[in-house]
Chains A and B, each alone.
Chain A
C-alpha cells in the first residue's frame, strides 16, 4: 500500500516526512498536480460496476486502489506547467485527479473538502469558541461605525487579513498589525476588516496536531519586545522555539476542533498571556512544521509519516493519547 504525496518539488519540508517513510519501507509516490499532463499522467475506468485508476509520475505507476493515504501538502494548480495553461485545463485536470482520488478508500491528510472549509478564518473563530478555546474579542465588518464602536470598547486592537492571503499586485505582505487609538476607520467600508483585541502576550505557541498527537512549541516574547511587533512571523526577536506541555483543557479543545473540522492535521497558533491563558488565533490546516522540528527536535515529521503509514501513535505519547487517528478519513 502506497502513500501518495501531492506537493511541489522544492517542498523540502515534505522531504522530512519522505525520509521517515523510506526508512520504514513504506512505498511513496510523490507528484505535483501542476505537472499534469507533462511528468504526471492519470487514467481511470469505470467498467462492470468497478473502478480501476492509475497514476504515473517519474517512472512510478501506482494503482489508486493501492493507496493507503493521500497527503495534500503544497500541491500546485493542476496542469499549470503545461506549455499552454488555461483555467479550463486546470479545472479539467483538478476534477479528474481529485475526483478519482475522492473515490478511493485512502485516508486523507487533509481531505480537500475539509481543507477548503477550514481555511475560512471566521469559521475557525466560531469553531474554536464552540470547542471551548478562548478567542480574543474579534470584529469582522464593513461598517466604519461598527469599527469605531468596537475600538471604543477594546482600545488596544490589531488588524489582520480575513483570509490570511497577501495581495500580489503588487506583491505585499499584510502582517497582523497594531491599530493606533486615533485611527480613522473610514476605509473599513472598502473591504471586510478583521479587528481583534490585542493579547499582551508573554509567548507565542505553535501547536502541531497530527491525528490525536499534539506537539506544542513556545517562543517567549522578550520583556523589552516592541509591543507593535505583533506578528511572530515578522518579529525580530531571536528567542528560540522550545517544547511545551499542552494544558489538558487546551488539548481537549483542540481535539474537539479537529474532530468537528474533520482534519487530520492542523497547525494552531495561540498567544499566551500573562496569566498563562492560551488565546486561539488561528488553525492553519496546512501550516508549516519544519521550522519547529528543526529548532525543537520534536518528531513532527516522523509522526506525520506514522499517520500516513497507518501506524497509529501509542496512546499517551507526547501530550496525551487518545483514540485512533483513523477517525479522519
Chain B
C-alpha cells in the first residue's frame, strides 16, 4: 500500500516554460533577445512565474 500522504498527490504541473532569455556567461546574467537583462523586467518575471515558490527544480524542494 502507498503511504497516507500520497493519497493526496496530484500530477505534477508542467513546470517547463519557454523563457525568452538565455544565460550570458560573460555577464553572468540571463539576457533577453533585445539585450536587456531579464531580471530587470519584473512584469516579464511575473508573467513567466520563474521566481515563484513552485518554480523549484527536482533537486531543490525548498520553496
Contacts and interface: CB of A to CB of B under 8 A. Distances in A.
Contacts of A329: none
Contacts of A324: none
A234 interface: yes
Contacts of B53: 233, 287-288, 291
Interface stretch (A44-52, A127-135, A172-180, A271-279): A172-180
Interface in A1-45: 5, 8-10, 12-13, 15-16, 18-19, 28-30, 39
B5 to A, nearest CB: 6
Interface stretch (A63-71, A94-102, A155-163, A312-320): A155-163
A223 interface: no
B42 A294 contact: yes
Interface in B11-56: 11-13, 19, 21, 23, 25-26, 28-30, 37-40, 42, 45-46, 49-56
Nearest to A29: B28
A164 B62 contact: yes
A9 B49 CA distance: 16
A286 B53 CA distance: 11
B38 A10 contact: no
A173 B6 contact: no
Contact of B57 (A74, A161, A188, A295): A74
A171 B12 contact: yes
Interface stretch (A81-89, A189-197, A246-254): A189-197
A53 interface: no
Given A12-B39, A287-B62, A291-B53, A194 B9 contact: no
A29 B26 CA distance: 10
A12 B50 contact: yes
B37 to A, nearest CB: 6
Interface of B: 1-13, 19, 21, 23, 25-26, 28-30, 37-40, 42, 45-46, 49-63
30 contacts: A9-B25, A15-B29, A16-B51, A18-B28, A18-B29, A18-B39, A58-B26, A76-B59, A119-B62, A159-B5, A161-B5, A163-B61, A164-B61, A164-B62, A167-B6, A171-B11, A172-B6, A172-B9, A173-B9, A173-B12, A174-B5, A177-B8, A187-B1, A188-B3, A188-B4, A190-B4, A234-B54, A291-B46, A291-B49, A294-B42
